[in-house]
Amino acid sequence: MNILVIGDIVGKPGREILKSLLTWVQSRYNIDFTIANAENAAGGRGLTLDVKNELLGMGIDCLTMGNHVWDNKNIFSFIDDEPRLIRPINYPGDCPGQGMHIYKAGFNKKIAVINASGRVFLPALDCPFRAMDDVLEDINADADYIIVDFHAEATSEKVAFGYYLDGRVSAVLGTHTHIQTADERVLTNGTAYITDLGMTGPIESILGMEKETIIERFLNARPTRFQVADGPAHLQGVVLQLAEDDKKAIKIERISHVLSNKGII
């Protein structure tokens, strides 16, 4: 089983590079199931109905979110009715949407995708570690594979989360910081891990946003309105190769592709 997991899609440049490269990537890596983080997909903040439909129409099987899930209020009109969209599972109390869903893929395989949010330097939600304990008790026997998008800021929290779930899930994949890390590996007990998948969006940017406005904010410490940057974009993420007879990962491969005048590189 080969699963493609795409790093945070940022605005129109991220969506455009997906249109250009997704089919090629899926074919090159013989992908059976595709997951993408979409919390920045509509104008850099949140998700709209039109953008959600656009992304799913490209051949993405599941969209995950993060701390910007509620930034576009349009999401309340569809989040409860779209099983291919999940938000962090550790929001407290009665919350719209779902934090986990089980999908069918390949030869009758069942893939559980779970979205969780970290708490260090992010809004103080319920404990993601204990939330995972609760959900794994319920779904362990129902899923052949379990993929976790851990949307978190602090590297230490992400690494701790990976080790905490090692052997209990197929993969723990970090999102949110938009900078692809070079620490992809299969942990001791068979869980694939990377601290951050990276970003699917404009290359000449600061985390997908226009450079000048971000630099201005650092210089004068005053609020500025961030805008999604223009220019060439890249598609970043990982390809997971999972065992056929258990939940363990065989391999995790970090990918980063751009479309240039010489073709796809």
Residue 144, both tokens: 């052949």
Residue-wise burial string across 149-169, b where 16 or more C-beta atoms lie within 10 A, e elsewhere: bbbbbbeebbeebbeebbebb
Residue 143 pLDDT grade (very low, low, confident, very high; cuts 50, 70, 90): very high
Cα 210–Cα 212–Cα 218 angle in degrees, nearest 5: 110
> Torsion angle, CA of 203/234/262/19, rounded to 10 degrees?
-130
Mean pLDDT of 136-141: 88
Which SS3 state, helix, strand or coil, does residue 110 take?
A: strand
The values of phi and psi at residue 148, to 5°, are: -115, 125
pTM across the whole model: 0.95
pLDDT in tens, 176-189: 999 999 999 999 99
257 is catalytic: no
In 3D space, the residue among 9, 52, 5 whose CA is nearest the CA of residue 33 turns out to be 5
In 3D space, the residue among 242, 61, 240, 60 whose CA is nearest the CA of residue 144 turns out to be 242
Please tell me which residue in 68, 151, 176, 178 is annotated as part of the active site.
68
The parent domain of residue 30 ranges over 2-264
Residue 84 pLDDT grade (very low, low, confident, very high; cuts 50, 70, 90): very high
How many other CB atoms are found less than 10 A from the CB of residue 145? 26
CATH number for the domain including 31?
Answer: 3.60.21.10
What pLDDT shows up at residue 265?
A: 77
Residue 89, both tokens: 């599972």
Cα 87–Cα 83–Cα 54 angle in degrees, nearest 5: 85
- Give 16: exposed, middle or buried? Use CB within 10 Å, 0-12, 13-18, 19+: middle
The number of domains in the chain is 1
**8-state DSSP, 8:** E
pLDDT in tens, 20-79: 999 999 999 999 999 999 999 999 999 999 999 999 999 999 999 999 999 999 999 999
Flag whether pLDDT at 262 surpasses 90: no
